[in-house]
Amino acid sequence: MSKSRDLLRYQDLIKIIEHHNSLYYTQDKPEITDYEYDQLFLELLEIERANPDLVTSSSPSQRVGGEVLDAFKKVPHRLPMLSLANSFDPEDIIAFDERFKKFIKQEAEIEYFCEPKFDGLALEIIYENGILTQAITRGDGNVGEDVTHNVKTIRSIPIKLKTIHPPALLEVRGEVLILKNDFLKMNLAQQENGEAVFANPRNAAAGTIRQLDSKIAASRPLCFFGYGLGQVDGVKFEKQSEISHYFDQVGIPVALEYISVCQKAQEAVDYYLKIESHRHKMDFDIDGVVIKANSLKLQDDVGMVARSPRWATAAKFKPEQATTIIETIQVQVGRTGALTPVAIMKPVKVGGVTVTHATLHNQDEIDRKDVRIGDTVIVQRAGDVIPEVVQVVLNLRPEDSKPFKIPSHCPSCGKSAQKLEDEVVSRCVNPHCPSILKESLKHFVSRRALNLEKIGDRLIESLVDQGLIKSYSDIYKLNADSLRKLDRQGEKSIENIIKSIEGSKKTTLARFIYAFGIRFVGEQTAKLLADHFINLNRFLSATNESLLEVPEIGPKVAESIQNWLSNKTLVNEANKLIHLGITFETSKRNTTGPLSGLSFVITGTLPVKRDEAQSLIENNGGKILASVSSKLSYLIAGDDPGSKVDKAQSLGVQIISWEDFLKLI
Ligand code: IVH
């Protein structure tokens, strides 16, 4: 980039960053995610690095962001509250270590103190002769706001230190936050009282600590973790780790179970990876880890540069939220006819993956979040789940925007949609709706159903659009001549499609049942049905009673299967498919192995893919059940488990982690 373009961008960046600083630090109304902010900051630092002569004293790199609200008393910090250099890649911990060693001209390994990076609000709590005298927010790093009245309401913070020899002065630095569970309860109460709910624990904590009325803070579940010192008088430490243990001794909360002293940088990288994989199980939100030189003498020797200490770095986790704009809202028709609104967004990276679509679930959800076309929204992606719109940034809403309503007619076939009383979704009920047909066919050919590898979603769309298939059985009537009618299909690809169709004819009864997409019949239930009825005819003539005899199947699922069985067209389809050459191999279920006789249900996100976990259970002789019942041997709970955990607890079923499960085999 040329110097003059650098200068223009630099001046722009300063304005943009200052604007976001004010929104974030002073008003608690961020409009962009931390990740996007950090990207702007990195860009600014990059320009400054390349053009040191451009750096001005008003650059955000020269001070920690934020102003102080007038309504609070302004209090200067005895020692400035600084910021940390950030990175998003654990490899950068190694780079930090190398820079550090070079700076101190040392080759020997450096001992690091590692702890979580709490995602709350920085606070300084001052103890004089063991008594809490003042608490100050970070503010702009030099001057903060006096929030003593609120901090005194936080029960986990001692008003008097637990020691008979208190130091004359102890400035404790740490982070105020709200535990995830408390946050959920608190939001529920807010909702019940008709008050606004908070987007996340951090916003709730920040909004609470800066209330003028301490009764409000007292009614909210704030907590605090100490991580460092300001000025002290009357107590001496040699290591960062000693500070944490001292805090613990005198009653200041610390996250002791998550701290670790590492003998070299690679161990700190391992620590980062361990905490990252564990973060969803933790009681509080963290956004990374902080790596600090453990020796306080070393910290003193190296000092700081601009706004951050040289002796510490923050390695952040890949962000799982980002901000983007909804370009349009499409209403998609699923294979059950459900009309699902989907936000089509300006592409944005979330957690390292580019996201363009997010489900809006149904009209109730759209109304609750008031999501509209043209809105700037915060999107979130957790693990493998479909991205979701978390929140609309209301002050960026275009003036002419209108609430979005799902149409009363199916967008695909135009027939009127229906909404059953006990359901939140509206559905197209036209059996000839082309969208329902396409989606049902896509499910039928999918990998876990009949596994027609060479027939993908696009091919299904063109086959239906060209009128070449109107039902499942039509797939097996396709031949080279009919396929040649499609655009862009070469002879080789036609040959592959035919091979794939032929190959799929040998399947299992379980896959076949699953392929029909009967409501409430997922892969596991299909396996149970196949195990129980053994052949297709017996399944097709199942009665309600015989269905209820299948382990795991309750009245709701039995009724849905009965509905399906009473649909002559569908049963005919099943028979036609058999005439067209579909055959079943008996599924080879392994009943020997360490898990023989044991049954499992999985909930939440595991460190491995779901199907890998299922194969591992089955290959070791275990059985997978569709739902939790008192007969279940184990519930395997991953991250963010669902209500199955409550059910298992109430039935006394053993709940185990993935690691516990691995021990079983
Ligand atoms: S040490 C010189 N340790 O991160 C600053 N900071 O960018 C030394 N933070 O708002 C800070 N958890 O409040 C440190 N375990 C931790 C932390 C932590 C969160 C926050 C800190 C500040 C920001 C620094």
Residue 474 maps to a domain: yes
Mutate to test the pocket of ligand 1, among 175, 225, 279, 286 (most ligand atoms within 8 A of CB): 175
Q: Rounded distance, CA 378 to CA 203, Å?
A: 14
Ligand 1 proximity of 82 Cβ (cutoff 6 Å): yes
Ligand 1 proximity of 291 Cβ (cutoff 6 Å): no
Q: What's the confidence (pLDDT) of residue 63?
A: 42
More confident residue, 199 or 217: 217
pLDDT band at 422 (very low <50, low <70, confident <90, very high): confident
Beta bridge partners of 137: 123
Structural contact between residues 597 and 540, judged by C-beta atoms closer than 8 angstroms: no
Ligand 1 proximity of 120 Cβ (cutoff 6 Å): no
- Spacing, Cα 88 to ligand 1 middle (Å): 15
Output the domain CATH number for residue 558: 1.10.150.20
Ligand 1 proximity of 118 Cβ (cutoff 6 Å): yes
Output the domain CATH number for residue 33: 1.10.287.610
| Average pLDDT of the segment spanning 547-571 | 90
Residue among 276, 121, 109 at smallest CA distance from 200: 121
Beta bridge partners of 314: 86, 290
Ligand 1 proximity of 227 Cβ (cutoff 6 Å): yes
Of all protein residues, the one whose alpha carbon is nearest to atom 17 of ligand 1 is 117
Q: What's the confidence (pLDDT) of residue 23?
A: 65
| Average pLDDT of the segment spanning 208-221 | 83
Q: Rounded distance, CA 294 to CA 296, Å?
A: 6
Same domain, 289 and 153: yes
Ligand 1 proximity of 254 Cβ (cutoff 6 Å): no
Structural contact between residues 170 and 232, judged by C-beta atoms closer than 8 angstroms: yes
| Other CB atoms within 10 Å distance of the CB of residue 414 | 11
Mutate to test the pocket of ligand 1, among 24, 45, 63, 84 (most ligand atoms within 8 A of CB): 84
Residue 292 maps to a domain: yes
- Spacing, Cα 65 to ligand 1 middle (Å): 14
Residue among 110, 5, 14 at smallest CA distance from 55: 14
Same domain, 379 and 484: no
Domain that holds residue 646: 599-664
Same domain, 182 and 250: yes
Same domain, 325 and 309: no
Ligand 1 proximity of 115 Cβ (cutoff 6 Å): yes
Same domain, 176 and 208: yes
Q: What's the confidence (pLDDT) of residue 608?
A: 83
Of all protein residues, the one whose alpha carbon is nearest to atom 13 of ligand 1 is 122
Same domain, 312 and 226: yes
Give the number of residues written for the chain.
665
More confident residue, 500 or 610: 500
Q: Rounded distance, CA 471 to CA 464, Å?
A: 9
- Spacing, Cα 299 to ligand 1 middle (Å): 15
- Spacing, Cα 121 to ligand 1 middle (Å): 9
pLDDT band at 352 (very low <50, low <70, confident <90, very high): low
| Other CB atoms within 10 Å distance of the CB of residue 467 | 9
Q: What's the confidence (pLDDT) of residue 67?
A: 35
Q: pLDDT tens across 244-254, in order?
A: 999 999 989 99
Q: Is the pLDDT of residue 342 over 90?
A: yes
Residue 417 maps to a domain: no
Of all protein residues, the one whose alpha carbon is nearest to atom 21 of ligand 1 is 122
Range in 259-263, 431-435, 508-512, 547-551 with the lowest mean pLDDT: 547-551
Structural contact between residues 101 and 107, judged by C-beta atoms closer than 8 angstroms: yes
Q: Rounded distance, CA 145 to CA 105, Å?
A: 40
- State how far the alpha carbon of 27 is from the alpha carbons of 89, 124, 211, in Å: 30, 20, 12
Q: What's the confidence (pLDDT) of residue 125?
A: 97
Q: pLDDT tens across 456-484, in order?
A: 999 999 999 999 999 999 999 999 999 99
Residue 423 maps to a domain: no
Structural contact between residues 436 and 428, judged by C-beta atoms closer than 8 angstroms: yes
Going by C-beta distance under 8 Å and a sequence separation of 6 or more, which residues neighbour residue 151?
Answer: 123, 125, 132, 135, 157, 176, 209, 224
From the CA atom positions of the chain, what is the Rg in Å? 30
Ligand 1 proximity of 286 Cβ (cutoff 6 Å): no
* Closest atom of ligand 1 to CA, residue 255: 15
Residue 36 maps to a domain: yes
Beta bridge partners of 323: 378
Same domain, 447 and 560: no
Residue 112 maps to a domain: yes
Last residue of a domain, one of 463, 479, 504: 504
- Spacing, Cα 85 to ligand 1 middle (Å): 10
Ligand 1 proximity of 83 Cβ (cutoff 6 Å): yes
Mutate to test the pocket of ligand 1, among 115, 171, 290, 299 (most ligand atoms within 8 A of CB): 290
Of all protein residues, the one whose alpha carbon is nearest to atom 15 of ligand 1 is 117
Of all protein residues, the one whose alpha carbon is nearest to atom 6 of ligand 1 is 117
Ligand 1 proximity of 220 Cβ (cutoff 6 Å): no
User: Tokens 């809490």 identify what position?
Assistant: 132
Structural contact between residues 589 and 618, judged by C-beta atoms closer than 8 angstroms: yes
Longest pairwise C-alpha distance within the chain: 93
Going by C-beta distance under 8 Å and a sequence separation of 6 or more, which residues neighbour residue 63?
Answer: 140, 141, 142, 307
More confident residue, 550 or 587: 550
Of all protein residues, the one whose alpha carbon is nearest to atom 16 of ligand 1 is 117
Residue 290 maps to a domain: yes
Share the mean pLDDT of the chain. 88
Of all protein residues, the one whose alpha carbon is nearest to atom 9 of ligand 1 is 117
* Closest atom of ligand 1 to CA, residue 138: 10
Same domain, 296 and 390: no
Ligand 1 proximity of 174 Cβ (cutoff 6 Å): no
Q: pLDDT tens across 429-456, in order?
A: 998 899 999 999 999 999 889 999 999 9
Q: Rounded distance, CA 21 to CA 15, Å?
A: 10
Q: pLDDT tens across 266-323, in order?
A: 999 999 999 998 887 888 989 899 999 999 999 999 988 767 899 999 999 876 788 9
**H/E stretch holding 500:** helix 491-504
Q: What's the confidence (pLDDT) of residue 561?
A: 96
Last residue of a domain, one of 281, 316, 351: 316
- Spacing, Cα 290 to ligand 1 middle (Å): 7
Q: Is the pLDDT of residue 589 over 70?
A: no
Residue type, 69: L
Q: What's the confidence (pLDDT) of residue 502?
A: 95
pLDDT band at 197 (very low <50, low <70, confident <90, very high): low
Residue 395 has phi, psi (to 5 degrees) of -75, 0
Ligand 1 proximity of 177 Cβ (cutoff 6 Å): no
Q: What's the confidence (pLDDT) of residue 26?
A: 40
Of all protein residues, the one whose alpha carbon is nearest to atom 18 of ligand 1 is 117
Output the domain CATH number for residue 346: 2.40.50.140
- Spacing, Cα 265 to ligand 1 middle (Å): 19
Q: What's the confidence (pLDDT) of residue 475?
A: 96
Going by C-beta distance under 8 Å and a sequence separation of 6 or more, which residues neighbour residue 599?
Answer: 622, 623, 624, 625, 631, 632, 633, 634
* Closest atom of ligand 1 to CA, residue 304: 2
| Average pLDDT of the segment spanning 554-583 | 94
Q: What's the confidence (pLDDT) of residue 69?
A: 42
Question: How far is Cα of residue 56 from the mean position of the Cα atoms in its chain?
Answer: 39
Beta bridge partners of 634: 600, 654
Residue 231 has phi, psi (to 5 degrees) of -80, 145
Mutate to test the pocket of ligand 1, among 117, 123, 176 (most ligand atoms within 8 A of CB): 117
> Residues with catalytic annotation?
117
Buried-exposed string 166-197: b where 16+ CB fall within 10 A, e elsewhere:
bbebbbbbbbbbbbeebbeebbeeeeeeeeee
User: Tokens 């979701």 identify what position?
Assistant: 388
Residue among 565, 627, 638, 566 at smallest CA distance from 600: 627
Same domain, 222 and 265: yes
Q: pLDDT tens across 43-92, in order?
A: 988 898 888 888 775 577 754 333 344 568 899 999 999 888 888 788 89
Q: What's the confidence (pLDDT) of residue 383?
A: 47
Buried-exposed string 261-287: b where 16+ CB fall within 10 A, e elsewhere:
bbeebebbbebbeebbeebbeeebbbb
Residue 593 maps to a domain: no
Output the domain CATH number for residue 647: 3.40.50.10190
- Spacing, Cα 10 to ligand 1 middle (Å): 27
Q: Rounded distance, CA 466 to CA 267, Å?
A: 60
Ligand 1 proximity of 226 Cβ (cutoff 6 Å): no
Range in 129-138, 184-193, 495-504, 560-569 with the lowest mean pLDDT: 184-193
* Closest atom of ligand 1 to CA, residue 117: 12
Q: What's the confidence (pLDDT) of residue 62?
A: 58
CA angle, residues 447, 448, 449, in degrees to nearest 5: 95
Residue among 223, 219, 221 at smallest CA distance from 183: 221
- Spacing, Cα 137 to ligand 1 middle (Å): 13
- State how far the alpha carbon of 343 is from the alpha carbons of 275, 329, 596, in Å: 33, 5, 46
Same domain, 311 and 331: no
Q: What is the percent of the chain where pLDDT is above 90?
A: 51
Going by C-beta distance under 8 Å and a sequence separation of 6 or more, which residues neighbour residue 39?
Answer: none
Same domain, 569 and 484: no
- Spacing, Cα 117 to ligand 1 middle (Å): 6
Last residue of a domain, one of 256, 286, 316: 316
- Spacing, Cα 282 to ligand 1 middle (Å): 18
Our count of domains for the chain comes to 6
The three-state DSSP-derived secondary structure of 523-574 is HHHHHHHHHHHCCHHHHHCCCHHHHHCCCCCCHHHHHHHHHHHCCHHHHHHH
Q: Please, is 461 exposed, middle or buried when counting C-beta atoms within 10 Å of its C-beta (0-12, 13-18, 19+)? A: middle
Ligand 1 proximity of 25 Cβ (cutoff 6 Å): no
Highest mean pLDDT among 42-51, 169-178, 362-371: 169-178
Q: pLDDT tens across 376-400, in order?
A: 999 987 544 568 898 899 888 999 9
Residue 21 has phi, psi (to 5 degrees) of -60, -45
User: Tokens 């609470």 identify what position?
Assistant: 208
More confident residue, 318 or 262: 262
Same domain, 550 and 620: no
Q: Rounded distance, CA 382 to CA 321, Å?
A: 9
Structural contact between residues 322 and 310, judged by C-beta atoms closer than 8 angstroms: no
Q: Rounded distance, CA 265 to CA 91, Å?
A: 10
Q: Rounded distance, CA 445 to CA 455, Å?
A: 7
3-state secondary structure of 317: coil
Locate all alpha helices (DSSP H) within 72-162, ordered by sequence. Answer: 91-103, 148-151
Q: pLDDT tens across 109-143, in order?
A: 999 999 999 999 999 999 999 988 999 999 888 99
- Spacing, Cα 228 to ligand 1 middle (Å): 8
Ligand 1 proximity of 87 Cβ (cutoff 6 Å): no
